[in-house]
Structure formats: C-alpha cells, structure tokens
Structure 1
Amino acid sequence: MSGANPARGEASLSLAGETLVLRPSFAALVAAEGELGPLFALVERAADGRLALGEMVALFWHCLRDRPAGLSRDDFGEAIAAQGLAASTPALKILLGQILAGR
C-alpha cells in the first residue's frame, strides 16, 4: 500500500505498527453521513470537543482506502482506543478539514 496523497485529501493513520490511509471520497463520506448524521454537525461536535470515540472510529472506518484483510471494525476501534486519542488527532483534523473545504 502506498502512502497518503495530500492532493486527494488523504491522511495517514499509524495503527498497530501499520500505516493506513484514510481517503474522504464522496462515497466514503456519504456512507459515514448515513451512519452518523449530517457531516457539518459532526464537525461542529468535534470543534466543541463533543465528538465521541465511536463517531471518530466510524468516520475513519468508512474512509479507509484499503482495509487490511481480516481487520474487523471492532478490532480497528480497539486499536485506536489502545493507542490513545492523541495519536489519531492529526488524521481526524485532516478529514474534518476536507469535509469543510471539499476537494
């Protein structure tokens, strides 16, 4: 898997020794919005410090460019929680910026 392409609004997420790429494509954001509700409200909750861990995991899950074989959403969420939220914040910031700015 190649690295994140900033020109596409992609973000890298290091998780359990592997670098995953998050791509906020139209299809990924529509899927996330279908689960989480309006994306602008998600951005507002994040700005207010009210973004829930499950919401972040859902956004990341839908934006995963290439899911590793055998990776379940529960295991993905557990790995994010295990490394701490601070490690995921840079990727979250990029995705939220892309939601607001568009590409």
Structure 2
Amino acid sequence: MSAVANPARGEAAIRVAGEQIVLRPSFAALVAAEEELGPLFALVERAAAGQLSLRELVALFWHCLHEAPAALTRELFGEAVAAAGLAQATPVLRVLLAQILGGR
C-alpha cells in the first residue's frame, strides 16, 4: 500500500517500515491529539522551542493517520518513526503544525 498525500487537504506523507503513510490533520484527529497531548497551541510552542518530545511527535502523527495498514500498531508505528529519524519526520511535522495554526 503506497499512498499519496493531498496538499490541498493539508495532508503529509511519511515513509515508515517501507510504506508511504498519509497523515491527515482532520478536526477529529486534532481533537483526539489534543485530548492526549493538551492544547495544540502549547504543542506548537514546544515544537517551535525545540522542546517537542518524540512521544508527542508520534502521538500527533498517530492521531492523524489516514488509512493505515491494519497490522500497524502504535508501538510499531513509533518504532518505525524513530528508526526513520527526525530528518524524515521534521518536514511532516511542519505540515501538520502549519495546518494547526492556519487551518485549511
């Protein structure tokens, strides 16, 4: 399964465990992320200050997953994101944070 992100929807894609996975920051996804991580503006501020933890990054990504493989667990996803490295995760994070701040 290889997916393509649609920038018009505010989507971003990340390659984890050999698969391209689309992240879509829908209202429901962001509400779920906020319930777990606290206010999204505080999350953006932590990210801007370089204080966003890997746990927070993976949680945000996890809540924004769109049509992920059925066998993908959060633990496997987190391991794959960590293995891919911050260089791959950072551009995706930027897209999601821009959507949080600016909307669609």
Q: TM-score range by the shorter chain?
A: over 0.9
**Alpha-carbon distance, 1:17 to partner:** 1.2
Q: Which residue of 2 aligns with 1:14?
A: 15
Asked whether the 8 Å contact 2:10–2:95 carries over to 1, the reply is yes
> Tell me, which stretches of 5 or more residues in structure 1 are unaligned?
none
Question: How many residue pairs were aligned?
Answer: 103
Look up the equivalent residue of 1:8 and give its one-letter code.
R
**Alpha-carbon distance, 1:102 to partner:** 0.5
**Alpha-carbon distance, 1:2 to partner:** 3.8
Question: Does 47-56 or 1-10 show the bigger shift?
Answer: 1-10
3-state SS in 2 of match to 1:69: coil
TM-score when scaled to structure 1?
0.97
**Alpha-carbon distance, 1:84 to partner:** 1.1
Counting only pairs closer than 5 Å after superposition, residues 1-103 of structure 1 correspond to structure 2 as 2-103=3-104
**Alpha-carbon distance, 1:93 to partner:** 0.5
Distance, in Å, in 2 between the alignment partners of 1:24 and 1:16 is: 21
TM-score when scaled to structure 2?
0.96
Runs of at least 4 residues of structure 1 off by over 6 A?
Answer: none
RMSD: 0.9
> Tell me, which stretches of 5 or more residues in structure 2 are unaligned?
none
**Alpha-carbon distance, 1:82 to partner:** 1.0
Distance, in Å, in 2 between the alignment partners of 1:75 and 1:35 is: 19
